[in-house]
């Protein structure tokens, strides 16, 4: 069991994902306003306070873009909350800045569709996996 009160490997409900995001924010000593401002530095207009509040309260199935913005605002890689939602453990959210930057750039590109974003991120991650020693 982690400090987040969950076990990795299990997909998360919106309520569980929101609880993880809230615990992360509180552990960092941030207000919701702070998270939104931090996210806006990388992904402008990708998340609002009401959207973050809805995510934290488990009242929404957020878009990938909103989850990416919340992740960045919480100091995680852009894909962290999506990966946690899909079963990863919050403790597994450490990637290099270069990898995070590539994923953030893909997520932030307004010219890409959601399908294109998922495809590019998936391809990038597969290629990274092949080139690791």
Domains of the chain and any CATH numbers: 14-94 (1.10.260.40)
Record the pTM: 0.66
- Average pLDDT value for residue range 89-104: 66
| Four-point Cα dihedral 123, 96, 108, 61, nearest 10 | 80
Decide if pLDDT at 49 tops 80. Answer: yes
Quick check: 63 pLDDT over 70?
Answer: yes
């Amino acid at each position: 069991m982690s400090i987040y009160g969950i076990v990795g490997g299990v997909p998360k409900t919106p309520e569980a994902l929101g609880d993880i995001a809230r615990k992360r924010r509180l552990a960092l000593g941030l207000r919701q306003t702070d998270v939104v401002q931090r996210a806006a530095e990388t992904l402008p207009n990708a998340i609002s306070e009401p959207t973050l509040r809805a995510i934290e309260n488990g009242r929404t199935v957020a878009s990938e873009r909103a989850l990416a913005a919340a992740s960045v605002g919480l100091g995680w890689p852009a894909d962290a909350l999506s990966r946690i939602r899909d079963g990863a453990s919050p403790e597994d959210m450490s990637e290099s800045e270069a990898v995070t930057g590539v994923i953030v750039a893909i997520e932030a590109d307004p010219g890409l569709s959601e399908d294109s974003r998922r495809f590019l991120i998936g391809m990038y991650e597969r290629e990274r996996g092949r080139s690791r020693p």
